[in-house]
A and B are shown apart, each in its own frame.
Chain A
Amino acid sequence: MSHQPFENWILSDEPLEPDQQQALEIHLEGCEDCSTISNAWMEISETIAISQTLEPAPGFTQRWHNRLALREKQRQQQKMWLFTLGLFFLAGIIALVLIIYNQASRNMFYEMSQVIANFSLFAVRVNKIWTVSTAFIKNFPIILPIIITCGVGMLAALGALFITWLGSMYKLFSPVQEGVTIK
């Protein structure tokens, strides 16, 4: 069953013509769906008409002032952060420009060859240290007795020299006996 134009008329904000009103009333008597919609909309309209005005809790304006003050403080802090970040960004840009300028003012291939040469030199030195270290570790059992023998010999020689020196010192500072002539 068609509910048009009756549904439009029920839900229309515009006042209906007398003949439209009459036709709608006749339709509503026989159509349960349209009658339900019509009653529901009438109830809604009545409820809206008598609904109370809502009001916020007391002190709304003061809370707004407080909120605005807080918001402005936050905005100030945000501005400061942005300014600081801007400064860092600017410093970064300047550093980048300087690096690029510095690099551009040199011969790039020469700089690259220098880097490679330094790296090669470093690798050669590391290799030499490695070779010497491994050779020493490999020959350690042979070298150890030689080191011990040389060490003991050197200590003995040093001991003998020290005793000789002590003896000569003793003689030098001992008192001279009477009647003894020094030749």
Chain B
Amino acid sequence: MDTLTLLAADKFQAPGPSIFDFPPLYAGAPAWLNKPVLFAVVGALIVCVFMWSAFANPKLVPRGVQNIGEIGYIFVRDQVARPFLGKDAERWMPLLLSVFSLILLWNLFGVVPFVQFPIASHIAFPAIFAGTIYVIKLYLGIKHQGFLGYFKNMMFPPGLPKPIYVLLAPIEFLSNLIIAPFTHAVRLFANMFAGHLILAFFSAVGFWFLFEKLTPLGAGLGVLGVIMTIAMTGFEIFIQFLQAFLFAMLAAMYLGGSLHPEH
């Protein structure tokens, strides 16, 4: 281990998947009490506190935090819930607003100084959300379309020539029941994972070539790393928002599909 470290210490090493592993917060702490767990809970608390200050006592004429909260609420309602749920949008807003706001904040933790870790880059967090949505989707589908009706609507959409169903039915079954929840979670996870890796890579380039091994030749590369870190941070904020939006939108789409099979 020591020789390996010594050898490696002379060369630049790009950060790998190991940067997603965290030791316990302090010596003697239980193994589960690490940075992602801490900030997952902190994020949930911040969302609750923010929403509480916005909506605890909402006014007809909004003031202060309520304005910001309403922007978020109306965004989720008009861009996420209504296009896919129609008149059921209001009923599912509690779930969709919770999903969107918590995932958005967890994602934004990726660029908050000193936190700098997108919680959803640990697959357990997107998985628990996608799993919950999946269970609700199945429940709603069977409740509103009947057990057989749900599978019939899913696998045998009307209006196609008979032989097509030989191909279509298994594909639809696979995509709706097995692939959809998996991609729902992995899309968010992978975006956050890759984004964090990219930021870590460019920061590491800057840190290595400007501080640890400052050389006349390497300095330019270090500066480039810093510039790219700044640029990619801006891009990451956009991706973090986009993925939170997409996750909530897919959730609304799955629920809408179970409530109204004709869509």
- Asked if A and B bind, the verdict is no
